[in-house]
Amino acid sequence: MDPFEAGRARALGSLMRDLEAGRVDPDIVPLLSLLNSSPRYYTTSSCSGRIQLAATRLPGEKFRMVVVAKWHRPLQPRELREVLAASRYPDLWMAVQGPILHVACRSLEAALALLEAARRAGLKHSGIQGLGERVMVELLSSDRIEAPLRLGGVDVMRGRVLDEFVERANEVLLRAKFRLDRLAAELQKVIGGGEERI
Amino acid sequence: MDPFEAGRARALGSLMRDLEAGRVDPDIVPLLSLLNSSPRYYTTSSCSGRIQLAATRLPGEKFRMVVVAKWHRPLQPRELREVLAASRYPDLWMAVQGPILHVACRSLEAALALLEAARRAGLKHSGIQGLGERVMVELLSSDRIEAPLRLGGVDVMRGRVLDEFVERANEVLLRAKFRLDRLAAELQKVIGGGEERI
């Protein structure tokens, strides 16, 4: 087996186990199935987009932050209030993150076809991250919120303002997740129907 | 002249005019000089990182938002209060955005060398976006804040909380800008000394 095929077999085996164990967000399953149905591609990691509450002085301190809660779906203000009330951390930031996928591609041509589909779907920060026996593509949108909910022990938003904020956050999450459907539709044109056109 | 050389000459001419007119943020000039000193690269756009206040219902609505103010440097709480007091928009979001650069590379090898340097500098969302007579690389970090300052006519932060928020925003901006110095240091190893090692 060539190295790409071997890597693909390992990745698909691991994805099957995750699917079976319910560790994959349903929102992203159709897109993963489509991509992994082509012998030119396999996915190595994915997130369909999420809302995350983290205890950290500054956002982006990946190795020092504590993830307090996360949701891969729109949120009720009540759910957020409960988490806030139960948390003693002095600094809390809420992030809305769009989908992110890492896809191994057999060739540069396959990677470029994927990138074009991603751009048409509005995943505009997508790019090739490395080249070797496989071409690694990161698919990424620019949809993002990263806002403080507590600073130095003081809650930033209350009452109607918190409700309004949750509503906007949900809208950004759904807008970002919608790009997955658009990407699947674009990829159908490239991969679809069993016939490979790249 | 080959197409890459022709594109390079046009881009450098335009950069020179921007430098002369003071339209380039001083923070990014050393990096632009270094990249454009190599015949393998030229930059087509760049931003060193900034704080931006925008009137928009949702962040990321690029073509519908109104940019109310922007700063390519840390901000005084007083400056922000003045802009807020003077603005009648019902919805205001503040963004801290890290550096973003687009670099045309002569070859895939040159692009991969740049990507490796970018990754070592912490610009972890960097990637190749397209391939033709030039290889286009986007250099991008994940440093980001995108937070509401006014929602439905109601100011979200006041007093000490607003001061604290501005302090954190400035820290995220400076952390992001610092990656430009790290990238320049990494690139010196690849481009530096007049000798090209790629």
What tokens does B180 get? 């430009």
Compute CA distances B147 → A96, B7, B75, whole Å.
11, 38, 15
For the segment B78-137, what is each residue's pLDDT rounded down to a tens digit?
Answer: 999 999 999 999 999 999 999 999 999 999 999 999 999 999 999 989 999 999 889 999
State whether B145 and A59 contact (CB < 8 Å): yes
Specify which residues B69 forms β-bridges with: B53
Residue B194 has pLDDT above 80, yes or no: no
CA distance B113 to B90: 46
Which positions of chain A have pLDDT values less than 70? 192-198
Looking at beta carbons, which residues of chain B come within 8 Å of A129? 115, 126-128
For the segment A139-193, what is each residue's pLDDT rounded down to a tens digit?
Answer: 999 899 999 999 999 999 999 999 999 999 999 999 999 999 999 999 998 886 5
Label residue B7 by pLDDT band (50, 70, 90): very high
The 3-state secondary structure of chain A reads CCHHHHHHHHHHHHHHHHHHCCCCCHHHHHHHHHHHCCCCEEEEEEECCEEEEEECCCCCCCCCCEEEEEECCCCCHHHHHHHHHHCCCCCEEEEEECCEEEEEECCHHHHHHHHHHHHHCCCCCCEEEEECCCEEEEEECCCEEEEEEEECCEECCCHHHHHHHHHHHHHHHHHHHHHHHHHHHHHHHHHCCCCCCC
- Chain B, 94 to 133: residues with Cβ < 8 Å from chain A are 108, 112, 115, 125-131
What is the span of the domain harbouring residue A20? Answer: 3-190
Total domains in chain B come to 1
CA-based nearest distance B81→chain A, Å: 17
Looking at beta carbons, which residues of chain B come within 8 Å of A57? 168
Tell me the angle at which helices B159-191 and B108-120 cross, rounded to the nearest 10 degrees.
140
Is the Cβ–Cβ distance between B70 and B120 less than 8 Å? no
Structural domain includes residue B198: no
Radius of gyration over every alpha carbon of chain A, rounded to an integer in angstroms: 19
Output the average pLDDT for chain B. 93
State the pLDDT at residue B192: 65
Structural domain includes residue A198: no
Structural domain includes residue B13: yes
b/e map B181-193, b = 16+ CB within 10 Å: eebbebbeebbee
Residue B42 belongs to domain with CATH number = 3.30.1960.10
State whether B151 and A145 contact (CB < 8 Å): no
CA angle B46, B98, A66 (to 5 degrees): 160
- Partner residue facing A156 (CB), from B115, B140, B157: B157
Structural domain includes residue B17: yes
State the pLDDT at residue A73: 95
- Does the reported pTM lie above 0.90? yes
Structural domain includes residue A195: no
Is the Cβ–Cβ distance between A174 and A166 less than 8 Å? no
Q: What amino acid is encoded at A86 in this protein?
A: A
Torsion (CA) B5, B7, B9, B13 in degrees, nearest 10: -170
Quick check: B143 contacting A, CB < 8 Å?
yes
Structural domain includes residue B196: no
Structural domain includes residue A196: no
Quick check: A148 contacting B, CB < 8 Å?
yes
